[in-house]
Structure 1
Amino acid sequence: MATTHRLARVAVFALEDTAVQVVWGDAPVAPLNVTVGPRATHLGGYGRPGGVLVTGLEPTTRYDVVVESGAGDVVRLGCRTLPSPEGELLSTVACLSDLHVGSTRQGWFGTMRDRSGLPEPAPLRCARAALDEAVAWGPDLVVVKGDLTERGRAPEWRAVTPLLQEVAVPLAICPGNHDTLEGRDHEPAEVLGAAGLACAAPVDVVDLPGVRVVIVDSTAPGRSPGTIRRALPDLLDALAEADRPALVCLHHPFEPLPVPTQYPVGIPWPESWRALRKIHRVKRDVVISTGHTHRNRRLHFGHVAQAEVAAVKDYPGVWAGYAVHEGGIRQVVRRVTAPEAMGWTEYTRLTFGGVWRGYAPGLRSHRCYVLRWPGP
């Protein structure tokens, strides 16, 4: 019996100042029309998950969103674009994490498997598509924030390093806990260095117009939780010496409370709090971008903002972009909408009995927002 596809799980996933990303979890094999205010996009027959970026919009403006299919489905939504940060756009940075190349299963019991029949495994397809879409955004730098591999095995590194070597813009990398598990075949810095790729050991610095990007190794080899002890002196020096705002990129988030508020645990309390107090004393205009938890969440520690950005390899399957202006920074988290990737990530929304579809995306206000740089 043929499967009947209907327009389902339609959402405005990403907001920017002049663009919105509209996505859907399924669609009929019929033309789709996506209208955001005066902007209309016409797509051919789908019959699968997908998404579209609608551009040319005005900042801080309320828009009606209508998605119509040739099969008669109509979904109506609304959204408001973000404000533009003050001043000139100076530079852009794209971030992605948790590729987990080498992973073959999903879910607590490993019961979810890729049955697409495509030649590349799902994590590699998702990583390739995420890098392609992030680079197409036009960043000055791409940062990969750890868990490039599932277990740090040699075949996994052989699969992921050529993909990273193909990135056509400057690239910075830090390892994650999965890259430094017990039983790994290589140290991340060694295998990446042999491929001509830089890996933070423990800190790398890239200066761009308007922002210093500090890439940090937060791993504790053989353990899932992270640590900042080894990297903290170099991190504080890099922040103290910066003559511009800073974007700090690392794998593990700083835990905000003595009791962990998510799984897996990031940098545990009280180490996290002590480090954040030192960062806050050294520099006020700091944004932290992390991975590890496979969810989207925003936290504030005084003037320091921390973003947890969800994974590439499972639902919702995303990358983050940071647009640096003279007066502030804009974060946008977009879903990867390439069909070969989104078919898998949409399936993985059913992880943990479907709880994942509500937990991992987080609030849209935690994915897409504008921060003003604090005054002196």
Structure 2
Amino acid sequence: MEITTVSDDVIVLHDGCDVYRYEDLQPATQYTFHGLTVTTLARPEGELLSTFATVNDVHFGEVDCGVIDDDPRGPIQRSRPGEMPYPEIMNQGACAEILATHPAYVIVKGDLTHAGSDIEFDAFRDCYVGHFADKLRVIRGNHDAYLGQHLYDEDVWIEMPGICVALMDTAIPTETTGDIAAGQLAWLSERAASTDLAVLVMGHHQQWTPDPNGGTRRNENYFGINPDSSDALNDVVAKHRNIIGYTAGHTHRHRVRSMACGVPTIEIGCVKDFPGTWAQYRVYEGGVMQVVHRISSPDALEWSERCRHLYADTGMDYESYALGTLAERCFVFPNRS
């Protein structure tokens, strides 16, 4: 059994496909359920101004889960005969849960598709536009540009009560790695300077950060945003104290690190497999809370549990890698002002 979600008023535990949800709790209060103890998050001061949701790595069209290039090692999971394709199971489950929270916006942070085919893009739109219509905002990921496409490649500025989101394209067509161009960073700097509201930057690829222990070398082939552009992003964030963080997908894991300027740089796990998550952001007058939710429809849990031990043949502990810690999934952003 594991605690999967904690907010200021909700605690959720999962034991395989069984879900235990406790609501109407008090903020900053310790609770024990099923022998596990956790403290609810402190609620930022003031009124709740808005909420919005994000997903990433939804991968419509994927049929082999757990494949790394041409490596035959697994276990590799596939939908069974007669089952709905697993990307549809997971995304339908995510959309239903998000819809019930009445978000101001729903933001998709890339890897909408497996290979960028027209059929896959159509499946994505059928699901997400069908659920959220004009509340939907989208940026591409590397899987959406392997054929050199330019769909969903324009940076988007999203304003809502209490916060602005800068949704930025980090994909390099035909490449796995990511980048943010100088012109994009100038756009971000100008936008951040134009508002007194908190700004949260989002993109598909994770940011490179220096290893405080000296173990991570600069590498232009870094799997995320290349080091030079990552440093330049840090410089913009350092300049504008209303920028509270950067959130990404791409790595299929939950993790929080710090930029050189001390601001959190965050990775959110994928929708498509274990643990199968989406993120909610609650914007208060006094701060912003991130709450990650595990998709909990019965068919989604049955699928994501099958994916708990992906890549085990390679020696990888995917369960720990993908889930991260509770503190990396659910927290209140530090206030820089």
Task: Compute the displacement of 1:15 (Å).
Answer: 0.5
User: Is 1:152 aligned to 2:116, yes or no?
Assistant: yes
1:100 corresponds to which residue? 59
Cα deviations across residues 73-112 of structure 1 (Å, max 9, x unaligned)?
Answer: xxx2211111101111111111110001111112233652
Describe the SS at the equivalent of 1:249: strand
Of 64, 71, 79, the match for 2:38? 79
| Greater relative contact order (Cα < 8 A, sep 6+) | 2
Task: Compute the displacement of 1:325 (Å).
Answer: 1.0
Task: Compute the displacement of 1:340 (Å).
Answer: 1.5
2:213 corresponds to which residue? none
Cα deviations across residues 297-324 of structure 1 (Å, max 9, x unaligned)?
Answer: 1122225222100000011110011111
Q: Is there any run of 5+ residues in structure 2 with no aligned partner, and where?
A: 211-215
Report which stretch shifted further, 340-349 or 103-112.
Answer: 103-112
Say if 1:327 and 1:372, in contact at 8 Å, map to a contact too: no
User: Is 1:351 aligned to 2:314, yes or no?
Assistant: no
Residues 264 and 303 of structure 1: CA distance in aligned 2, closer, same or farther (over 3 Å): closer
1:239 corresponds to which residue? 192
Note the 1:279-358 alignment, pairs <5 A: 279-301=237-259, 302-353=261-312, 355-358=317-320
Task: Compute the displacement of 1:154 (Å).
Answer: 1.5
Say if 1:216 and 1:248, in contact at 8 Å, map to a contact too: yes
Q: Is there any run of 5+ residues in structure 1 with no aligned partner, and where?
A: 1-9, 26-48, 67-75, 190-199
Cα deviations across residues 339-366 of structure 1 (Å, max 9, x unaligned)?
Answer: 1212111111111116101111111111
User: Is 1:373 aligned to 2:326, yes or no?
Assistant: no
Describe the SS at the equivalent of 2:310: helix
User: Is 1:173 aligned to 2:138, yes or no?
Assistant: yes
Of 24, 27, 30, the match for 2:15? 24
Amino acid at match of 1:314: D
> Size of the alignment, in residue pairs?
320
Distance of 1:57 and 1:260 partners within structure 2: 45
Note the 1:9-158 alignment, pairs <5 A: 10-25=1-16, 49-66=17-34, 76-107=35-66, 108=68, 109=72, 112-158=76-122
Of 244, 265, 271, the match for 2:229? 271
Task: Compute the displacement of 1:260 (Å).
Answer: 7.1
Distance of 2:222 and 2:308 partners within structure 1: 18
Task: Compute the displacement of 1:282 (Å).
Answer: 3.0
Amino acid at match of 1:285: I
Q: Structure 2-normalised TM-score?
A: 0.89
Cα deviations across residues 30-55 of structure 1 (Å, max 9, x unaligned)?
Answer: xxxxxxxxxxxxxxxxxxx1324321
Task: Compute the displacement of 1:237 (Å).
Answer: 1.7
User: Is 1:187 aligned to 2:150, yes or no?
Assistant: yes
Distance of 2:174 and 2:60 partners within structure 1: 18
Amino acid at match of 2:144: D
Distance of 1:21 and 1:179 partners within structure 2: 33
Percent identity, please: 30
The structure 1 segments of at least 4 consecutive aligned residues displaced by more than 6 Å after TM superposition are none
Distance of 2:235 and 2:112 partners within structure 1: 30
Distance of 1:373 and 1:139 partners within structure 2: 23
Amino acid at match of 2:318: W
Cα deviations across residues 240-278 of structure 1 (Å, max 9, x unaligned)?
Answer: 2122001112101111025379x9811021221122112
Distance of 1:89 and 1:222 partners within structure 2: 42
Amino acid at match of 1:18: D
Amino acid at match of 1:160: F
Distance of 1:264 and 1:329 partners within structure 2: 30
